Structure 1
Amino acid sequence: MLIIVMMVVPLPTLLIDILIALNITAAMLIVLVAMFVNRPLEFSSFPAILLVATLFRLALNISATRLVLLDGFAGDVIEAFGHFVVGGSLIVGLVIFTILVIIQFIVITKGAERVAEVGARFTLDAMPGKQMAIDADLNAGLIDENTARRRREEVAAEADFYGSMDGASKFVKGDAIAAIIITLINLIGGFAVGMLQKGMDAMDAVETYSLLSIGDGLVSQIPALLLSVATGLMVTRAAGEGDLGTTVVSQFARQRLAMQIGGGAALALCLIPGLPKLPFLVVGGAVLLLAQRLPKAADIAAMETAEEEVQPDLPPPDSPEALMGEMRVDPLELALAPDLVDLVDTSGGDLLDRVRALRRKVALELGILMPPVRTRDDLTLEMSTYSIRISGVEVATGQAPPGTVLAIGEGLDFLPGRAGVEPVFGLPGKWVPAELRHQAELSGATVVDRASVIITHLAEVVRANASRLLGREDVRSLTEVVKRTHPVVVEELTPALLSLGQVQRVLAGLLEEGVSIRDLVRIFESLSLVAKVTTDHDSLLEAARVALGPAIAARHLSDGTLYAITLEPRLEQSLLESLRPTDAGLQLLVDPHRAESLIGDMNRLLEAAEQQGTTPVVVVSPQLRMPLRRLTAVAVPRLPILSYAEIAKCTFRIETVGVVSGAHSIAA
């Protein structure tokens, strides 16, 4: 509002002088701040300040022009610039003004505008990659959620800043053009006012008005030039750990040889006939003297090596701390044969990036924090093989020959390579040279690269062993997360009713049957209700499953229908009567022949349903579900067993595909 007032209301000359001094001082302060910030984002308000400063300078120019044309006097500052600075010569003033405009408009402003435009485009293009890098570090456990949030905000702020600088540089360019036009108008207007209105002759009009117009233009151009320099400094600053002065001094201090050569070259110029000797002797000698005081390159390298080698005192190799570190067993490990190390090479392999992405996928799918995967080479493995280990025990192995891709399909005999098997589904395939990938795809085969094969295998191992990977510390972390949003649920459950160990057993039991534990709030609420009556593990587990019933059943739907296998009522009643409590929970105590007949019937009904394109589940009473699961887990692991309570609140269609009678099965 004050800037608008300055444009329309005449100001006294004393106030004009004060405002001109304020304008020049503010421009110098902006340049100094731009030099002393460590990062451009530390002066993120610069684009807005640049706009306000430009408007203020233009308003001041208008006020000064008004006084020059009306009174022939616009304050002592402008008069000093018009008479003393340019020696009272209109020609000299015009030349100096033109030089300032050329420096600002063509050199500084043009370059700053280009740098700001390129910086904004590159920053916006790099933004998705930076966000993905932050997510990868978060998934890998290298940073916490608060650090990730802060880095995302910095990336967004950096993009906003460079986008704003791209627009703000246009203000500087427009200001330079406006200065030229305003000065030309002042020159013509002052000459016309002096001769036509005041009746002056041409020389008097030039001396009175034109010199003041030049002084006004110079007064405006000096802060405009400073702001242009500040703009150039902001957009050309690279990432550094210190301000501009500290960075420049430290970098020049490392170039002892360059300083010596530069000083010697300055002294050599004294040999050219006709050149004055004294200036080059003084400058060259000063540079050589300064170079002698700088450290040598060998000393700098030794200092850097010493800094890199400085490490905290390590304990002796036979100390308890060192032995404990060597004894530690990694929860999840991926061992690679020596010829597969290229998969984890940062220059070309992306296996580590895919492992980090897998952690996020597992967290969203199962609700657990997958432990970091220790990836290392193992000389004991056969060439082209890899091994997946849990707590130091090998649970899976596979092959991934270098320079090949896995083609899965039939009719691949015409392609060279060696036979292979897809490790998760056991599909037959062939490892063919990578350059024949296109030919394999044309033959109708599904082609998978080596890293994808390993990651798919690792993901399946993690899903199958999720209950083993869920540690007590992981349960504590998950509980703390729930407590932030639902403190009452956690405080009511643990440690008042259940310990973390009991909660861990329930969660592990859910994961063992492939049930996601993402909905921890619902799980904890159901456990709180049952734990007030009993702390029996089977009862707690069934209560949690009932709470998650719709989600569990939804995983087994086929075209919106749940295909169920049930037990004949008399058989179910007989099995209920054979339940016996043991230390491991309720068990079915039936004779081996009857158990074999029961499992055989279930297996036949499962295979018959799968041949018809459906995936059935066994539905039994809640008391029988867990004991029956223990009986069939080894023989028919892929057959899910649900209870009637789990599907009671489901709204989808349920179709019976078979009934198990014990002696024989009846297909629906």
Structure 2
Amino acid sequence: MNRKKFTELVFDYGVALYVVSALIMLIIPIPAWLMDLLLAVDLSMAFAILFNAMYVKEALDMSFYPTMLLCTTVFRIALNVSSTRLILTTGDPGKVIEVFGEFVGAGDLIIGIIVYFILIIVQFVVINKGSERVSEVTARFTLDAMPGKQMAIDADLNTGVIDDKEAKRRRDHIQQEATFFGNMDGASKYVKGDATAGLIITAVNIVGGILMGVLRQGLPMNEAVDKYTILTIGDGLVSSIPSLCTSLATGVLVTKGAGESDFGHTLIKQVFGLPKVMYLVGAVVAFLGLFSPLPPVIYVAIGAVYIFGARMMQQRVEEASTEEATAQEEETEAEEIRQPENVNSLLQVDPIELEFGYGIIPLADVNQGGDLLDRVVMIRRQIALELGTVVPIIRLRDNIQLNPNQYIIKIKGIQISEGEILFDHYMAMNPGHVEEEITGIPTFEPSFHLPAIWITESQRERAESMGYTVVDPPSIIATHLTEVIREHIAELLTRQDVQNLVNNLKENNSALVDELVPKLMSLGEIEKVLQNLLSEGISIRDLVTIFETLADYAPSTHDTDILTEYVRQSLKRAISNKYFISGETTSVVTLDPKVEQEIMGSVKQTETGAYLTLDPERTRAILKSVVTQAKKLEDNGRSPIVMTSPIVRMYFKKMTEDAYKDLIVISYNEVESDVELQSVGMVTA
């Protein structure tokens, strides 16, 4: 016989012996030592039932509880009968009953009676009555809910949510629930009857014991009352405690209901799960200890325990929330990837992206004191005020494939520029008048590619006193990002952006907008004019003037390049203010009139626009002269500005923009009359 079969055999015969022994005890007297053993078995069984009821996940995990309750009740009544027989016949019911009568009752008749009756009252009034009512209501609700649950199972089965096997399992579970709670409604009567029987047996034992002591043993009345009452109280206590445990187990099981819950874990979580509540309890208890006659040590200590527990619980809640949010985000991302229809989201391209290595994360993390996000907001505000257009949302994300201190800037998904910083260093740049150099790590400023050096925090003050321009890493990134946005702001302007600008303008200038759009110009044509202005750094904030000019000249031409030149002339005050200083003479370079005529002679007009057919050799010669003349201005600290006639300006700008992006080309009609210009050279070839 293997171990498994032997264990099953022992369990089967053990249960049978447990039930049969109760019947035997009702008929055959048992000795005192066996009574002690059986009382210990009864007490241990009661504890086992109680703890199982507390920690099972579901009430149906103890589906045989009504049968178990019947068996333990019969066993306990049989013990009561046997102990009564021993008390009345020998006066010696065993050590256990004697200890309970003397120790639990403190060896005093009155104390023992009081303790016993308190237990009986608690069991009758509180536990038994409540358990009986809960069992009755739960059984009724379970039976009433059966038809609805059956219909829900049938609906799930018909729609294919579950298969036949799962439907059968659910139906069986519902049937078991109904049977269990129906049985529990009746089994709760066992508990009530057990307590009632114990009370009656106690009364019989007291009366019968006194009679036996006085009439049969010749004991004085006081001695008989004292002896048999203490023994009877001991017998009542030793049977009441298991009965109380069983009653409590019944209450726990029926109040647990059909839900799946661990009694201990759920109880702690629900009672002590809110840190706010524990903080308040701790504060109130500590306050009572400090400002009332209550024992301060005890109450302050308990208050401190609650506050400490609240802190621990709050940390756990925060960690759990973070983990849950992370897991939810990961699951959401994974689910989106798994869904075929969501692949379209991968095709979206962010207009502007700033990706950086993990070493730069602290600069973007607000929790670590980083302010890069705030600087990005300021960049969008600065560009809006400066150029009159709204910069799209700038996406910031970390990229583990980059070097820790590296960052890259993307426009429409394509890398445009990159840079690298040292997190705990500052960049010092020589503006040109520093006499004494400072030691550091050589580098280049990423926005304008100027030579610079990395210095430490301790060198910063000294570098500034020596005349260096010192900037921190966030400022370096922000400046670089701003310059990239300025350079590509024209291509970032979309038709939707133009529509938004038109809608804003229409609120106060509806007549102007209605005249221009869409009667004279389409949204795309307006977009092209605005892009032309932005590509040369001209602000489009004064939309009223721009739209007024377009409304004046759009009837005569639809060439957006020509319309752009008309708009630039209307914005000459803004252009003059941008490039020239009032009251000061500005050095510029002019364009040779012969070159202007040569350029105009090479312009070919087509349906799609105009283009130059200038000989490549002549183009290279003109560009070479542009570079030479512009260098003169730059060497003197001046901006490279070339003045041309209005009709040539846009063609000359197109010819030079690829070779010399920073060249500023302005026509004479775009300059205010009070601006003083001085020609220091001429572009010729």
Scaled by the length of structure 1, the TM-score of the pair is: 0.52
Partner of 1:621: 645
Distance 1:436 1:659, change over 3 A: closer
State how 1:565-576 maps to structure 2 within 5 Å: 565-576=589-600
Give the drift of 1:405.
Answer: 0.7
Alpha-carbon contact 2:438-2:463 (below 8 Å) kept: no
Inter-CA distance 486–340: structure 2 relative to 1 (3 Å threshold):
same
Matched, 1:602 2:622: no
1:432 counterpart residue number? 455
Q: Is residue 385–residue 401 contact of structure 1 (8 Å, CA) maintained in 2?
A: no
Q: Say whether 1:489 aligns with 2:512.
A: yes
| Structure 2 SS opposite 1:656 | strand
* C-alpha contact 2:640 2:662 (8 A) present in aligned 1: no
Give 1:554 shift: 2.5
1:317-368 CA distance string (max 9 Å, x none): 3445522323221111111111111101213111111111111111100111
Alpha-carbon spacing, 1:259–1:591, altered in 2? closer, same or farther (3 Å): closer
The offset of 1:620, in angstroms, is 2.2
Q: How far apart, in 2, do the equivalents of 1:260 and 1:619 lie? A: 79
The answer to whether the 8 Å contact 2:591/2:644 transfers is yes
Q: Secondary structure at the match of 1:389?
A: strand
Distance in 1 separating the partners of 2:506 and 2:294: 81
Q: Identity of counterpart residues, as a percentage?
A: 35
* Counterpart selection for 1:462 from 477, 485, 491: 485
Q: Distance in 2 between matches of 1:260 and 1:605?
A: 80
For 2:347, the aligned partner's letter is M
What amino acid is aligned across from residue 337 of structure 1 in structure 2? G
Aligned pairs for 1:66-465 within 5 A: 254-255=277-278, 258=281, 316-319=336-339, 322-347=342-367, 348-409=369-430, 415=439, 417-465=440-488
Cα drift, residue 394 of structure 1: 0.9
Aligned residues: 383
1-side partners of 2:606 and 2:548: how far apart? Answer: 27
Where does residue 529 of structure 2 map in the other structure?
506
Partner of 2:610: 586
Structure 1 residues 527 and 399, CA, compared in 2 at 3 Å: closer, same or farther?
A: same
Render the CA deviation track for 1:21-75: whole Å, top value 9, x for unaligned.
Answer: xxxxxxxxxxxxxxxxxxxxxxxxxxxxxxxxxxxxxxxxxxxxxxxxxxxxxxx
Compared with structure 1, are the counterparts of its residues 404 and 495 closer, same or farther at alpha carbon in structure 2 (3 Å cutoff)?
Answer: same
Q: Is the 8 A contact 2:631 2:640 kept in 1?
A: no
Q: Judging changes above 3 Å, is the alpha-carbon distance between structure 1 residues 454 and 252 closer, same or farther for their aligned structure 2 residues?
A: closer
In the alignment, the residues of structure 2 paired with residue 261 and residue 571 of structure 1 have an alpha-carbon distance, to the nearest angstrom, of 91
When the two chains are superposed, the root-mean-square deviation of aligned CA atoms in Å is 3.5
Please say if residues 553 and 562 of structure 1, whose CA atoms lie closer than 8 Å, have aligned partners that are also in contact. no
User: CA 1:611 to 1:430, structure 2 compared with 1: closer, same or farther past 3 Å?
Assistant: closer
Q: CA deviation at 1:512?
A: 0.6
Which structure has more helix as a fraction of its residues?
Answer: 2
Distance 1:346 1:427 in 2: 30
1:485 counterpart SS class? coil
CA contact under 8 A between 2:443 and 2:453: conserved in structure 1?
yes
Which SS does the other structure have where 1:637 is aligned? coil
Kindly provide the CA deviation profile for residues 225-279 of structure 1, in whole angstroms up to 9, marking residues without a partner as x. xxxxxxxxxxxxxxxxxxxxxxxxx99994499399959x99xx9999xxxxxxx
Deviation string, structure 1 residues 136-158 (Cα, Å, up to 9, x no partner): xxxxxxxxxxxxxxxxxxxxxxx
Q: Please state whether the residue corresponding to 2:524 is helix, strand or coil.
A: helix
CA distance in 1, matches of 2:616, 2:345: 48
1:590 to 1:257, Cα distance in 2 relative to 1, 3 A: closer
* Matched letter for residue 360 of structure 2: L
Cα distance, 1:599–1:486 mapped onto 2, change above 3 Å = same
Give the match's secondary structure for 1:573.
Answer: helix
**Is residue 358–residue 459 contact of structure 1 (8 Å, CA) maintained in 2?**
yes
Q: Could you tell which deviates more after superposition, 503-512 or 530-539? A: 530-539
**Could you say which residue in structure 1 is the equivalent of 2:562?**
539
Deviation of 1:641 (Å): 1.4
Which amino acid counterpart does residue 620 of structure 1 have in structure 2?
Answer: T
Cα distance in 1, alignment partners of residues 324 and 360 from structure 2: 34
Partner of 1:560: 584
Query: SS state of the match for residue 678, structure 2?
Result: strand
Separation in structure 2 between the aligned mates of residue 457 and residue 252 of structure 1, nearest angstrom: 46
CA contact (8 A) 2:599 2:651 kept: no
Q: Is the partner of 1:430 in helix, strand or coil?
A: strand
Q: Any idea what SS the aligned residue of 1:329 has? A: coil
- Provide the rounded CA distance (Å) in 2 between the counterparts of 1:321 and 1:447: 51
User: Residues 339 and 575 (structure 1 numbering): CA distance in 2 closer, same or farther, change over 3 Å?
Assistant: same
Mapped partners of 1:390, 1:396: distance in 2: 9
> Which deviates more, 566-575 or 490-499?
566-575
Asked if structure 2 preserves the Cα contact closer than 8 Å seen for 1:530 and 1:539, the reply is: no
Identify the residue that residue 18 of structure 2 maps to in structure 1. Answer: none
Provide the rounded CA distance (Å) in 2 between the counterparts of 1:615 and 1:524.
30
TM-score normalised to the size of structure 2? 0.51
Residue identity matched to 1:621 = S
